[in-house]
């Protein structure tokens, strides 16, 4: 990435828009960013990092305090950056969140943070977070990596050069993100502890399993009582005991077969005696049942004779049923005629009421129409007077003068309204006439029904009385008819049932006579002796079964316990293999190795060695080959196992000494070399990403003339291959040595930028 143009507006000390055109430096080389203290030199780099990532480089500045105090209310606070990357030109415009005065009225208003990124005419991203993501993807660097590669901040690497090993470890842990390796080391220790716990848990399971065996043996108890149990020996003992118990079970199985045969023979004999006694009991019971059937057959024949007398009454009962049916039909007909009379009277009443209501409405509508029509006729003179015109003859008298025309006293209805009232009145009169015809027709129907009732001798009062009585009489006749019908059906059904029962009884008697056979020897035998022998056999059989079940339970329990013990022993063996391997790795990661370094310190030492190799290339050049930086090989503090102690080799003496013994100028050179070496390594580990602009904000004021020349030559060498190197300094001697300059002029109304390249 190479800078092309930077524009600052309302930013920090810059009130108005200030522009830096970097394109003349596109071929690489040194340029100076100079100005008085507080003029805004480092603010330029802040603007670049803010445009790209929405962050500023300093630890004191905050994003929400970037607006210039000199800026007017209508001047925005924003940064615009153009840069070249892989042949494409990109432009970013970004503003922070800031408060500004209202353009109208008093008070302030808030401008929210926003950004957009453009490539050519294509809009790549909109919004602060989206633009930051797009830049990170494009450059392959996040904000932290970009700052480490592009900015050597004032004092940071000088401090890094002389701090303790512990502090230097913390700095490089942040730079190279090696906290992961410390986490890995801790996880390894935790995993080892976890496996150790699982091994203890596996031993507890084996102890628990050995306690579940059904073994009544002093030798087994002796094995269990040992402090360091020999589980292999215990397993062999349990398997041998299990084999012996299985042999005992086979012997018991054979003995049980003999007892089962004897027991079955006793049970069979008992069953034969019981079967013989049951046959005798069945014979005696069947013979008694036959006698009962004969007695019941005699009784049923007698009942049949009695029922024959009842059946003779059925014709008379049927005749009575027919008479009742005729009476019910007559009563129902009379009830229907009375109901018809009541309905006709109710219909007449309804139609008469409807006629009276419609007639009243018709009279009211007619009266309303006649009243309005009469008003119009009486006001005809006033209506004619409304049309009189001076000089024109009156349509009534023919006079050309109209000294006293009639007037209209009030507003009159028009002809359309009168016609509507007339039609409404005629319609209601027509409906009333139709209702009158319907009422007259209903009256005729009622008269006809009443004449029919009178012909039968029924008056209106008698009809009303009979209406209630008929309902009761009909219900009584119907109930009587049902009872009589049920009685006839019961007699007929009972007669059928008796006939069927007689037939079944006769058949049962005949069948029982044929099946009744007297067994040979009618004397039952006693079962007591058989039962005694069976009880004795059952006692012996239960004792044998209990012994067998106990043995079977022991075999089942011990078989399961042997299987579980084998599984637990195998699981523990596998855990011990993993634990042994992991324990070696964990001990090595925690410093039990030939270098006595923990894993993170080892990784950091590799990074540190790479940094020192790169730094020494610059330090040799800046010191005329006198100094080289080295990491101490031996760890001083075995408790912390840190390996970041730094010393310097002085070629003049051939000895190594502490970097704290360097002079001010020598310290600056070593710090600058260390910073450049760090940037090289960070850049290489960022996937070889090339950021072709570097800002150096270090203390050049501490250098003598020769050292300053050496530092400038070193930085100038970095400018080869189209790399831009910017030195941020207020040292006057640098203005004479560096041709390309960006000058920051500090004034009472803010700072201004001038470029001379």
Helices 528-589 and 179-210 pack at an angle, to 10 degrees, of 160
Report pLDDT digits (tens) over 370-427. 888 887 777 666 666 666 677 777 776 777 777 777 665 566 777 788 888 888 888 8
| CA dist., res. 325 & res. 343, Å (int) | 27
Domains 1-140+690-757 and 155-177+595-688 share a fold: yes
Given this model, what pLDDT does residue 59 score? 43
Answer whether residue 637 shows pLDDT above 70. no
- The angle subtended at Cα 595 by Cα 589 and Cα 596, nearest 5°, is 60
Is 107 exposed, middle or buried (CB count within 10 Å of its CB: 0-12, 13-18, 19+)?
A: exposed
Q: Could you tell me the pLDDT band of residue 88, with boundaries at 50, 70 and 90?
A: very high
| Statement: 155-177+595-688 belongs to CATH 3.40.50.300 | yes
* Fold assignment, 1-140+690-757: Rossmann fold (3.40.50)
Is 145 or 506 the better-scoring residue by pLDDT?
Answer: 145
H helices present in 590-688, as ranges: 599-622, 664-685
Sign of CA dihedral 225, 229, 231, 234: negative
Beta strand 627-631 with 646-650 is antiparallel
The two structure tokens encoding residue 616: 């020494």
Given this model, what pLDDT does residue 383 score? 64
For tokens 């002093």, the residue is 218
The two structure tokens encoding residue 517: 């056979």
Beta strand 655-658 with 122-126 is unpaired
Q: Could you tell me the pLDDT band of residue 247, with boundaries at 50, 70 and 90?
A: confident
523-547 mean pLDDT:
68
H helices present in 456-527, as ranges: 460-515
Q: Could you tell me the pLDDT band of residue 128, with boundaries at 50, 70 and 90?
A: very high
Map residue 419 onto helix, strand or coil: helix
Given this model, what pLDDT does residue 77 score? 92
Map residue 692 onto helix, strand or coil: coil
Given this model, what pLDDT does residue 60 score? 41
Residues whose CB falls within 8 Å of the CB of residue 432, separated by 6 or more in sequence, listed in order: 355, 358, 359, 361, 362
**Nearest-CA neighbor of 737 among 154, 42, 30?**
30
Answer whether residue 79 shows pLDDT above 80. yes
Q: Could you tell me the pLDDT band of residue 91, with boundaries at 50, 70 and 90?
A: very high
504-516 mean pLDDT:
63
Answer whether residue 154 shows pLDDT above 60. no
The two structure tokens encoding residue 463: 């009809």
Given this model, what pLDDT does residue 48 score? 92
Answer whether residue 26 shows pLDDT above 60. yes
Segment holding 232, helix H or strand E: helix 231-311
Given this model, what pLDDT does residue 331 score? 60
| CA dist., res. 531 & res. 585, Å (int) | 79
Is 750 or 116 the better-scoring residue by pLDDT?
Answer: 116
How far is CA 460 from each of CA 259, 373, 446, 450, 454, rounded to the nearest angstrom?
A: 105, 51, 12, 8, 9
Is 755 or 685 the better-scoring residue by pLDDT?
Answer: 755
Q: Could you tell me the pLDDT band of residue 218, with boundaries at 50, 70 and 90?
A: confident
Q: Where is mean pLDDT largest: 113-127, 452-466, 487-501?
A: 113-127
| CA dist., res. 430 & res. 13, Å (int) | 102
Burial 704-728 (b: 16+ CB within 10 A, else e): eeebbebbbebbeebbeeebbbbbb
Answer whether residue 554 shows pLDDT above 90. no
> Are residues 623 and 713 in contact, defined by beta-carbon separation less than 8 angstroms?
no
Given this model, what pLDDT does residue 205 score? 78
- The angle subtended at Cα 170 by Cα 169 and Cα 172, nearest 5°, is 65
| CA dist., res. 716 & res. 29, Å (int) | 6
Where are the chain's structural domains? Answer: 1-140+690-757, 155-177+595-688
Phi, psi of 279 (to 5 degrees): -65, -40
Report pLDDT digits (tens) over 337-381. 777 877 777 887 888 888 788 888 888 888 888 888 887 777 666
| CA dist., res. 434 & res. 424, Å (int) | 16
Given this model, what pLDDT does residue 520 score? 58
Answer whether residue 196 shows pLDDT above 60. yes
154-164 mean pLDDT:
65
Q: Could you tell me the pLDDT band of residue 52, with boundaries at 50, 70 and 90?
A: very high
Q: Where is mean pLDDT largest: 130-134, 559-563, 722-726?
A: 130-134
Report how far apart the first and last C-alpha atoms of the chain are (Å, whole number). Answer: 20
Is 74 or 317 the better-scoring residue by pLDDT?
Answer: 74
Least confident of 229-243, 479-493, 675-689: 479-493
């Amino acid at each position: 990435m190479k800078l092309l143009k930077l524009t600052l507006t309302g930013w920090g000390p810059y009130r108005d828009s200030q522009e830096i055109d970097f394109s003349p430096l596109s071929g690489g080389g040194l340029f100076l960013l100079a100005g008085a203290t507080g003029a805004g030199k480092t603010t330029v780099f802040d603007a670049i990092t803010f445009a790209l990532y929405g962050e500023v480089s300093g630890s004191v500045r905050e994003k929400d305090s970037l607006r210039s105090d000199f800026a007017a209310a209508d001047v925005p606070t924003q940064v615009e950056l153009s840069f070249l990357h892989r042949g494409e030109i990109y432009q970013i415009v970004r503003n922070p969140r800031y408060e500004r005065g209202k353009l109208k009225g008093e008070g302030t208003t808030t401008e929210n943070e926003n950004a957009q990124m453009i490539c050519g005419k294509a809009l790549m991203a909109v919004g602060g977070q989206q633009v930051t993501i797009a830049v990170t993807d494009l450059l392959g660097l996040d904000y932290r990596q970009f700052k480490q590669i592009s900015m050597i901040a004032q004092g940071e690497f000088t401090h890094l050069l002389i701090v303790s090993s512990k502090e230097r470890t913390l700095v490089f842990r942040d730079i190279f993100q090696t906290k992961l390796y410390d986490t890995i080391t801790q996880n390894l220790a935790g995993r080892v502890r976890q496996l150790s716990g699982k091994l203890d848990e596996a031993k507890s399971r084996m102890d628990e399993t050995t306690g579940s065996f059904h073994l009544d043996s002093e030798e087994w108890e002796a094995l269990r009582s040992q402090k360091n149990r020999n589980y292999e020996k215990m397993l062999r003992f349990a398997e041998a005991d299990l084999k012996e118990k299985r042999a005992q079970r086979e012997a018991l199985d054979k003995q049980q077969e003999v007892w089962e045969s004897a027991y079955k023979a006793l049970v069979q004999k008992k069953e034969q005696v019981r079967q013989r006694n049951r046959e005798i009991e069945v014979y005696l019971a069947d013979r008694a049942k036959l006698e009962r059937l004969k007695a019941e057959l005699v009784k049923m024949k007698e009942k049949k004779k009695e029922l024959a007398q009842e059946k003779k009454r059925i014709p008379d009962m049927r005749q009575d049923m027919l008479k009742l049916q005729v009476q019910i039909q007559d009563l129902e007909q009379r009830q229907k005629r009375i109901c018809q009379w009541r309905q006709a009277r109710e219909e007449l009443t309804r139609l008469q009421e409807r006629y009276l209501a419609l007639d009243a409405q018709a009279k009211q509508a007619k009266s309303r129409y006649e009243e309005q029509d009469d008003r119009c006729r009486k006001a005809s003179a006033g209506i004619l007077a409304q049309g009189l015109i001076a000089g024109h003859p009156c349509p009534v008298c023919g006079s050309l003068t109209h000294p006293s025309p009639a007037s209209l006293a009030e507003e009159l209805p028009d002809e359309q309204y009168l016609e509507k009232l007339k039609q409404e009145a005629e319609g209601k009169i027509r409906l009333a006439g139709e209702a009158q015809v319907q009422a007259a027709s209903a009256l005729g129907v009622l008269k006809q029904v009443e004449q029919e009732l009178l012909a039968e001798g029924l008056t209106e009062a008698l009809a009303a009385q009979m209406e209630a009585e008929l309902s009761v009489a009909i219900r009584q006749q119907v109930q009587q008819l049902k009872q009589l019908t049920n009685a006839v059906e019961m007699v007929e059904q009972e007669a059928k049932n008796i006939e069927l029962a007689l037939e079944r009884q006769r058949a049962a008697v005949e069948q029982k006579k044929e099946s009744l056979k007297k067994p040979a020897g009618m004397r039952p035998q006693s079962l007591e002796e058989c039962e005694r022998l069976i009880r004795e056999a059952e006692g012996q059989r239960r004792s044998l079964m209990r012994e067998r079940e106990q043995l079977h339970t022991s075999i089942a329990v011990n078989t399961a316990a042997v299987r579980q013990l084998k599984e637990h022993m195998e699981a523990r063996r596998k855990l011990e293999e993993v634990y042994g391997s992991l324990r070696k790795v964990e001990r090595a990661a925690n410093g039990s190795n030939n270098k006595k370094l923990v894993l993170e310190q080892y990784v950091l030492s590799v990074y540190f060695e790479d940094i020192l190799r790169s730094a020494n290339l610059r330090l040799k050049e800046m010191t005329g080959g006198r100094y080289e930086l080295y990491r101490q090989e031996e760890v001083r503090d075995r408790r912390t196992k840190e390996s970041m102690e730094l010393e310097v080799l002085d070629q003049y003496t051939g000895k190594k000494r502490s970097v704290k013994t360097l002079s001010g100028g020598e310290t600056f050179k070593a710090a600058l070399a260390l910073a450049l070496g760090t940037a090289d390594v960070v850049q290489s580990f960022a996937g070889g990403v090339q950021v072709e602009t570097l800002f150096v904000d270090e203390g050049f004021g501490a250098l003598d003339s020769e050292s300053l020349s050496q530092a400038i030559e070193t930085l100038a060498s970095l400018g080869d291959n189209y790399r831009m190197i910017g030195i941020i300094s207020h040292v006057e001697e640098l203005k004479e040595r560096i041709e390309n300059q960006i000058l920051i002029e500090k004034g009472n109304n803010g700072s201004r930028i001038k470029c001379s390249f």
